[in-house]
Structure 1
Amino acid sequence: MIFIANSILYAPVASAQTALPTLGDPSDLTTSAERRLGDRIIRELYRDPDYIDDPVIADYVQGIWRPLMAAAKARGELSPELDERFAWEILLGRDRTVNAFALPGGYLGVHLGLIGVVTTRDELASVLAHELSHVTQRHISRLITQQSKQTPLLLGAMILGALAASKNPGATQALVVGGQALAMQNQLNFSRDMEREADRIGYGLMAPAGFAPQGFVSMFDKLQQANRLNDNGSWPYLRSHPLTTERMADMHSRLPPGEAAAAATVPSTLEHAMVAARARVLANPGVDNLRQWIAEPQGSGFAALPASRRVGVLYAAALGSNQLRDAAGARAAAKKLEDLVRNDAAAHRLAKLLAAEIELAAGDAAAAVNALAADANNTSSGSSSNRRPELVLRTQALLRAGRAGEGTSALQTWVATHPRDATAWQLLASTWQAQGQALRAVRAEAEAHAARYDYAAAVDRFKAGQDLARRGGPQVDHIEASIIDTRLRAVESLLREQAAER
């Protein structure tokens, strides 16, 4: 369900008495219109200071998301039209609350707080499968259709108001338009029938996607326990997805006999423990928490902890030390971590990435490049220099080392197949700039803005590229100038559409 941080989308408005649509009700909102609404909302999310593009966590989440998408297609839950028209993007939020949400047009949001508390990849998969099913079943558009007298733009303003309220409760009134939008707020929460449908379809995606269906049950149990012990607003997923006894019993009954009792005992992989630790550190826990995590490996009971727990503790200690600019402490913890995970390919890859990240932060770009090169040459590690975390970190290290040209080819290949990767475009711009290729750098900057739907800024940079090309000179590539002209016309058209929506 759409739920942002701690802003509860239950507005006590007496006038909102219309029943939610029953399952099977059609949607009057076209897929194109829903996508445009999602694009409008997502533009603001990209500008939110809590938005984070962490390649390591994003890559791990995508590794769970892609099999779920494939399973939804194979089972006929995801139609070819939705597959083509929707964005299917996941944004990460630097927020400690345990939350995930779906937005119009195939966008999903996941807070680092959620990733930090789930103990297995199956539990995280259950949340993503549930949210994916809300989108594939058009629950969002059906709710919008139910509010037939309201416009989609009004809904967009309401959602953005909820986003603002997560940081400043008073800001909601500035963005939500009048009493009708407040009434809509009460209708945004999915009906119990829709929640059950998302449970049922999401559960059905788990096994075909390669995940243990027990993840659904253990996640429900974890959320319910948190609700009993500490419902202090830090578990907003419970409020937007109320866990009824019926829903929990339904998930338990779907497990084969004998497997329900084992649902809560599925062990965490070392890779998941490391990603969860990274999420906890990057969620801005504060200096005191960082210092506590740094000290934890020195405790007397550390050696008796399960392997996954020790790995998570060491990862948090190394990354926490790095956050506090303690290079020596970070290197020491990272070395212990690498020794512990050497025989686990996926975990060893993350340890090498962390070691390179630490060296880069310490100012030794050459050591960071070497660490990544050694990992790429070690086939037993199971890593690939073509994966996004390696690509981004290696490019950053090459730029710092004054070897920008070595990263150009890989980046060009990447953006050719991932044109909406704004981070990669921005790195390519820096790479071209470092090589004195100003025109190509300007075009890459423009593409980075366009990838995040900031068409006004993109048009500005494309026009700057045109001006640069007109001045001529030996560095002007006429093919690049022609591409800029073509892209400018396309983005200007998108900017006009954007302005018309307002």
Structure 2
Amino acid sequence: MRTGLTRYLLAGILSLSAVSPIQANELPLIANSSATISLEQEYQLGRTWARMLRGSAAEYGDPLLVNYIDGLLWKIAANSQLQDHRLALIVLDTAALNAFAVPGGVVGINAGLLLSAQDEQEFASVIAHELAHLSQRHYAQQLEESRRNTPLLLAGILASILIASADSQAGMAGITSSMAAGQQASINFTRRNEQEADRIGMLNMANSGFDPYAMPRMFSRLQRSSRFLGQNPPEFLLTHPVTESRIADAENRASQLPKPTYKKQGYDYQLLKKRVEVYYTKDINQLIKGYQLSAADDQLSNYGLALALIKKGDYSQAKTALKSLPSNLQQHLYIRLTYAELALAAGETQDALRQMEQLDKLYPDSYPVRQRYAKALSANRQYKKAARILSELSQRFPDNSFIWYELAETQGLAGNTLGVHEARVEYFLLIGATDKALQQIKFALREKGLSSSDIARLEERQREAEQVREQIKNAL
């Protein structure tokens, strides 16, 4: 759930858009009041589905990447035709190419998408496309047209995404089975849906200051790469087939949109891409050699080299690689955070804490900074202060399972057993493990010295957890 501050920021982004936006009422909203399910029903179903997904697939934990994607998502959403702006982002920990959006404002991005998109604009085009599917309520239309029940549709989406997150051979074997094939068919969009999502997505890109031509460029890149994949195309191409006519149509529509005033992108995207490359590499030594060879022509290769050396445990050489980055990059937030990450990895905990204290003063509202600050505090055994920071973050980002998990661990180190149980309740609810959440509530209610307000809060959460359990049960 977004705070009033976030809504204020969204309004600010919308009002500052430099491109003269085409009004939403010029676009057809095909899904109307006759749709099978209401927006509120979609929202509740989407949140239930999100819990099921979190409990079935690993999420990507790098706060820098999650925070970056979240920012792009809300920037484009502010210029979209969404009727309900209660969005939830899930970044999956898989190198497979995929992105998806399901009823209720749940947007999923595989971290591996960064490995396929050349730049920020191409990456944003995928987000814009998925948001357009949501704003036009294409899933509700499928329900209307096919008369399938919603739980079956959601189960099909979940199964398909989990298959896509597995290795390609196992994934394709699952897809070709009769059950998975039926589930796969339940989320394939019609050609009309895809064209509409392309058109509206490019419009929203232009209104958000992005280049709409980035979408056909991304399509062309995916089409070229798919030629080398034979019978094992990525999930995104199975549900969003790319053809020459679709690319040509997208280019034609992009030519009719206002010229964007998109500023030249900074280094954020390319730095994050290096982080993803290092994270998913299967041969760290080969990657290090590649970065060393390209360092003369690509100034960011030394950043990838530093990350790879940290992963390998060569901290001295990693620091040398970071220091070799140009002076204009030395003060970049991502670089400064990496220096602190290096210090933590090398066991230089006091130096890491000193660096994070400085960054926290400069970026007091930054989720990545606050999260890393809490980590540095814990490394220096300042558990209570770390728990306070994580508790604040949990209120700002209640759907972030990593924060609740870290908070539970830190509360334990701080000696706050009630805090441990309550944080675990929220973590287990987010991943759909309702029985474990209810068990933690029972443990919490047995704690000595509980106040009447503590008991009332826990009993209320118990009732809510039981409701969540029923919602998940009904969706299966």
Structure 1 length as normaliser, TM-score?
Answer: 0.79
Moved more, 41-50 or 89-98: 41-50
Measured against aligned partners, the alpha-carbon deviations of 1:217-270 in whole angstroms (never above 9, x if no partner) come to 32223223323455563544333222233332233223459999x9xxx97632
1:320 aligned partner:
308
Aligned to 1:153: 151
- Alpha carbons of structure 1 residues 40 and 271: separation in structure 2 relative to 1, 3 Å: same
Q: What is the Cα deviation at residue 325 of structure 1?
A: 2.3
Q: Over residues 24-63 of structure 1, what are the superposed CA-to-partner deviations in whole Å (9 max), with x where a residue is unaligned?
A: 5852133344344433433332134542222110011112
Residue 353 in 1 paired to residue 342 in 2? no
- Compute the displacement of 1:65 (Å): 0.7
CA distance in 2, matches of 1:323, 1:385: 28
Deviation per residue, 1:55-106 (Å, 9 max, x gap): 110011112111111111xxxx111xx335xxx2222222222221222322
Q: Does 1:279 align with 2:276?
A: yes
Q: Match of 1:15? A: none
Matches within 5 A, 1:64-103: 64-72=72-80, 77-79=81-83, 82-84=84-86, 88-103=87-102
- Quick check: 1:441 aligned with 2:420? yes
Aligned in 2, Cα 1:442/1:104: closer, same or farther, shift over 3 Å?
same
Residues in 2 aligned to 1:255 and 1:162: alpha-carbon distance in whole angstroms: 31
In structure 2, C-alpha distance between the alignment counterparts of 1:354 and 1:197, rounded to whole Å:
41
Q: How does 1:61-460 map to 2 (within 5 A)?
A: 61-72=69-80, 77-79=81-83, 82-84=84-86, 88-148=87-147, 150-166=148-164, 167=166, 182-183=181-182, 185-228=184-227, 233=232, 235-256=234-255, 269-282=266-279, 284-286=280-282, 288=283, 290-299=284-293, 302-303=295-296, 305=297, 309-311=298-300, 313-337=301-325, 339=327, 341-342=329-330, 348-377=332-361, 384-460=363-439
Residues 408 and 423 of structure 2 are in contact (CA less than 8 Å); yes or no, is this contact kept in structure 1?
yes
Name structure 1 gaps, 5 residues minimum.
1-21
State how many pairs are aligned. 445
Contact 2:291 2:302 in 1 (8 A): yes
- Once residues 395 and 257 of structure 2 are traced to their aligned partners in structure 1, the CA distance between those partners, rounded to angstroms, is 49
Gaps of 5+ in 2: 1-28
CA distance in 2, matches of 1:56, 1:409: 21
Which residue matches 1:19?
none
| Structure 1 position 120, deviation (Å) | 1.8
Over the matched positions of the two proteins, sequence identity in percent amounts to: 25
- The CA distance in 1 between the partners of 2:268 and 2:291, in whole Å, is 18
After superposition, the Cα gap between the structure-2 partners of 1:228 and 1:439, relative to the gap in structure 1 and judged at 3 Å, is: closer
Residues 285 and 211 from structure 1, CA distance in 2 versus in 1: closer, same or farther, beyond 3 angstroms? same
* Aligned match of 1:51: 59
TM-score (norm 2): 0.83
Cα contact 1:112–1:280 (8 A) shared by 2: no
Compare relative contact order (CA 8 Å, sep 6+) and give the higher one, 1 or 2: 2
Superimposed CA distance per residue, residues 379-433 of structure 1 (whole angstroms, 9 cap, x where no aligned partner): 5xxxx13211111111112112101222344333332232222222233323332
C-alpha displacement at 1:202, in angstroms?
0.6
| Superposed displacement of residue 367, structure 1 | 1.9
What one-letter code is carried by the residue in structure 2 that aligns with 1:68? I
1:361-394 per-residue CA deviation (whole Å, 9 max, x = no partner) reads 22222222112223344x5xxxx13211111111
Match of 2:47 among 33, 39, 42: 39
- Cα offset, 1:465, TM superposition: 0.4
| Cα separation, 1, equivalents of 2:438 and 2:265 | 47
Q: In structure 2, do the counterparts of structure 1 residues 455 and 234 end up closer, same or farther at CA, with 3 Å as the change threshold?
A: same
